[in-house]
Amino acid sequence: MIELSSWKPALTSQFLICPVPFHLDTYHGCTYGCKYCFARDFYELTRKNSNNPSFSYLKGLKPTSLENWINKIMKQEGDYDYTKGAEVALRERIPLKIGANSDPFPYVEKKEKITMKILKIFNDYNYPLEIQTKNPLVLASYLDSFNLNNLNWNVAISISSNNQKIIDDIEPYSTSIKNRYKGIKLLTSVGINVMVKVQPVFYHIILNEIEDMVKEFKNTGCWAFNMEGLKIRKIMNKKEQIFYKEMSNSLNFNLKKFYIEENRLRNRLNKSSDLEISYTKQMKYINLGIDLSKKYGIKFFASDNYVGKVGNGDECCGTEVLKDYKLNCYNIRSYYFGNMKNNSEHLGNCIINWTRSNINNKKNNTIKNIFTKKVKELERIKRFKHFFEL
């Protein structure tokens, strides 16, 4: 038995760029060891604050505590409390991302079945879920436990390369590419919506690999794929520096040197703490993704930020295949596409207290107001102009 604890779904800080900023991790911590992982600091903090700070440490979400919270919120009637964004999101049926920071199907899930129990809880409400994982075989093993005609799921499988040697180097403890495709086939064969997240995109290898990957996506029954480029923190701790040096050796190019130069070429005012490649190179793999999606009859979504109206829509996580849901359309991605369909005005009224926005009156620090301010800011910067010519 692993340690169980209680926590709730939460809104993410990505609400300015994402229509579905609502997530839940069924585990805290991760054993896959992906060297590029953006959530590594969170995992290490979790282990540091535990009584078992080993690499393999995992803490599981207590299903009964989550069920009690969900049942309580779903029974609420009357006005919303806009200071409680997660409660508003749940009542508004904003799609929930399962596995935002930790994979919901670590190897121990076969024994513990924590994620399975939580999926059943949401399934009782036919709640719209985006399930993100590198281990679809475990999810596929649960199919006999669910009514397949009553699933409101989109399953997103992460695959950054078809080269198993590269995967062994950069995701040392994750599932094999062969098993990921096997799991996809099992899920799609019974009618479950599955897409692939090509995240992160490694620029120097994706241009040669992506067509074979898209062929495989189509052959295994996926309805869509998305792509998002690797980002590198400007300031790394020693462990990160070692990881990126190891990845550079695996990929045969110096990641940090390449990103420093590419970030210098970016055509925007970059206040981010991350390094990103130039728009020219971003658009090269994005346009390739668009062309391949047309060639093989599969949808493509561009998941990089601030790239404009490209791809098959603003719901780049694939939530469009879900039923009975609403979105946060007060975000830059939806603005590109002019999409207010399924918008939740109530979510837009939620007060966000952890943003860096300099709106003085915290009561005006709503998702909608912060978004409106951000659009005005971007429209004043000429180098952003072409992103708003829809």
Tokens of residue 300, six digits: 């493509």
2-29 pLDDT, tens digit per residue, is: 899 999 999 999 999 999 999 999 999 8
Percent of the chain with pLDDT over 90: 73
Q: How far apart are CA 338 and CA 331, in angstroms?
A: 10
Mean residue pLDDT across the chain: 90
According to DSSP, residue 320 is labeled G
296-346 pLDDT, tens digit per residue, is: 999 999 999 888 899 999 999 999 999 999 999 999 999 999 999 999 999
77-120 pLDDT, tens digit per residue, is: 999 999 999 999 999 999 999 998 999 999 999 999 999 999 99
Yes or no: say if 234 and 275 are a contact pair by the CB < 8 Å rule.
yes
pLDDT at 228: 97
Phi-psi bin for 311: left (phi > 0), alpha (psi -120 to 50), beta?
A: left
pLDDT at 261: 87
- 178-209 as b/e: b if 16+ CB within 10 A: eebbbbbbbbbeeebbbbbbbbbbbbebbeeb
According to DSSP, residue 28 is labeled E
CATH number of the domain enclosing 300: 3.80.30.30
Structural domains in the chain (count): 1
364-375 pLDDT, tens digit per residue, is: 789 999 999 988
pTM, rounded to two decimals? 0.91
Which residue range forms the structural domain that includes residue 163?
3-388
